[in-house]
């Protein structure tokens, strides 16, 4: 009997809870967990934009909508913006997929498979959301084999002379062999472009591979870099512990002054005007210190994680070459470089730091005998890491 009774009780409870949820849905609010970029406001029981992450998530959504990013490239972008999972690791790809398909970001929300109108502040327009869904068709699966109609490098580079897109063309020879050629679209109306040379896909692939090679880190370099990072880690931890401790001391000193000030006012040792003036100054000082602390706790050792990630990624690039993963190499260059252009049949690109540094040290190593791991020649790399602290 007892079992029946408690079942009746829990069913009733469940019914009450569901009724509450349905009412919330009708009002456009839902007590679900806020998605990334928002937080659950506990008093109003609403979901509000998170000041620290809202713009960053928005930036990532806008980036993915361009169609220039794969899921892993977005994952990397999120990581570099400090959008990380609970453990500080990169956000899982499946979670990113959920973010990209969540109607919450344009103002609706999904509950039990049904989409309802929300009352929260949207992050993006429905139009951008639709663009993201389109981009997901092409870039949604990790490791895609080939580009549109098998034209691998379509949309990959621009013409170095006129700045218009490089397009691809399929040609079938009399022998029946199919060739892919790349050339300027000659779309400029104001400028006559002289880049009439057609580039064979095989030749472009060779150049892409060379470029990836330049920014890849050989196994022995990876190990040396990781080792160096490990020793940096100890130093950094020590000095950042000190930094945090000093900040905390400063904050408690200001707090103590604040409470003494209040005591003085309550004991009528201070006029109200004077009290408020001093209190506001101290409160502002305290807030500055607290922000400094939370900023540091968020970013402080983050660069170490970024650096480690970069080392592994640069090493991984070598595997793309070994596996002859053409679309992987292409995506990799898109994610780490910019201004990819073809001039006189030559592919050129700009690399962000620290990749750029690697192209230079890599070239030095090739000139002065390969296989030598000379970390001192990479001191710029560690300086860069320092400046990110």
CB nearer Zn ion, residue 161 or residue 203: 161
Whole-number minimum distance, CB 347 to Zn ion, in Å?
14
Q: What does DSSP assign to residue 106?
A: G
CB nearer Zn ion, residue 160 or residue 328: 160
Q: Rounded CA gap, 268 and 272, in Å? A: 9
- Could you tell me the end-to-end alpha-carbon distance of the chain, in angstroms, rounded to an integer? 65
Q: How many CB atoms lie within 10 A of CB 345?
A: 15
Nearest CA among 24, 335, 337, 375 for reference residue 220: 375
| SS3 of residue 231 by DSSP | helix
Whole-number minimum distance, CB 387 to Zn ion, in Å?
38
Contact 154, 147 (CB under 8 A): yes
Contact 228, 307 (CB under 8 A): no
Whole-number minimum distance, CB 188 to Zn ion, in Å?
7
Contact 85, 98 (CB under 8 A): no
Whole-number minimum distance, CB 162 to Zn ion, in Å?
3
Whole-number minimum distance, CB 160 to Zn ion, in Å?
8
Q: How many CB atoms lie within 10 A of CB 170?
A: 12
CB nearer Zn ion, residue 59 or residue 161: 161
CB nearer Zn ion, residue 187 or residue 298: 187
List interacting residues with Zn ion (CB under 5 A).
159, 161-162, 184, 193, 195
Whole-number minimum distance, CB 335 to Zn ion, in Å?
25
Using a 10 angstrom Cβ sphere, with 0-12 exposed, 13-18 middle and 19 or more buried, the burial of residue 153 is buried
CB nearer Zn ion, residue 173 or residue 189: 189
Cis preceding linkage at 354, omega within 30: yes
CB nearer Zn ion, residue 5 or residue 192: 192
């Amino acid at each position: 009997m007892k079992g029946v009774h408690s079942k009746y009780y829990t069913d009733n409870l469940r019914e009450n809870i569901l009724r509450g949820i349905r009412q919330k849905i009708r009002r456009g609010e839902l007590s679900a967990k806020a998605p990334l970029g928002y937080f659950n406001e506990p008093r109003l029981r609403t979901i509000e934009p998170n000041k620290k992450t809202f713009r960053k998530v928005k930036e990532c959504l806008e980036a993915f909508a361009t169609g220039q990013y794969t899921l892993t490239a977005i994952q990397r972008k999120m990581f570099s913006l400090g959008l990380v999972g609970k453990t500080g690791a990169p956000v899982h790809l499946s979670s990113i997929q959920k973010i990209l398909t969540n109607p919450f970001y344009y103002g609706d929300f999904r509950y039990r498979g049904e989409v309802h109108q929300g009352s929260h502040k949207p992050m993006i327009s429905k139009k951008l959301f639709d663009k993201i869904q389109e981009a997901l068709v092409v870039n949604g699966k990790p490791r895609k084999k080939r580009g549109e109609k098998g034209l691998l490098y379509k949309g990959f580079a621009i013409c170095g002379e006129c700045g218009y897109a490089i397009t691809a063309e399929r040609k079938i020879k009399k022998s029946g062999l199919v060739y892919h050629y790349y050339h300027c679209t000659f779309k400029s109306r104001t400028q006559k472009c002289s880049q009439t040379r057609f580039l064979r896909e095989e030749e472009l692939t060779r150049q892409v591979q060379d470029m990836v090679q330049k920014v890849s880190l050989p196994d022995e370099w990876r190990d040396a870099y990781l080792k160096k990072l490990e020793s940096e880690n100890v130093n950094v931890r020590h000095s950042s512990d000190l930094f945090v401790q000093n900040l905390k001391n400063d904050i408690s000193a200001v707090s103590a002054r604040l409470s003494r000030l209040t005591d003085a006012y309550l004991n009528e040792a201070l006029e109200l005007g004077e009290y408020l003036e001093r209190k506001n100054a101290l409160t502002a000082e305290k807030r500055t210190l607290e922000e400094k602390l939370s900023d540091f706790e968020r970013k402080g050792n983050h660069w170490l994680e970024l650096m480690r990630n970069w080392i592994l990624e640069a090493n991984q690039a070598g595997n793309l070459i070994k596996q002859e993963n053409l679309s992987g190499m292409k995506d990799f260059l898109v994610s780490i470089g910019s201004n990819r252009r073809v001039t006189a049949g030559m592919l050129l690109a700009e690399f962000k730091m620290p990749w750029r540094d690697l192209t230079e040290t890599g070239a030095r190593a090739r000139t002065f005998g390969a296989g030598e791991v000379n970390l001192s020649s990479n001191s710029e790399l560690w300086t860069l890491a320092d400046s990110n602290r």
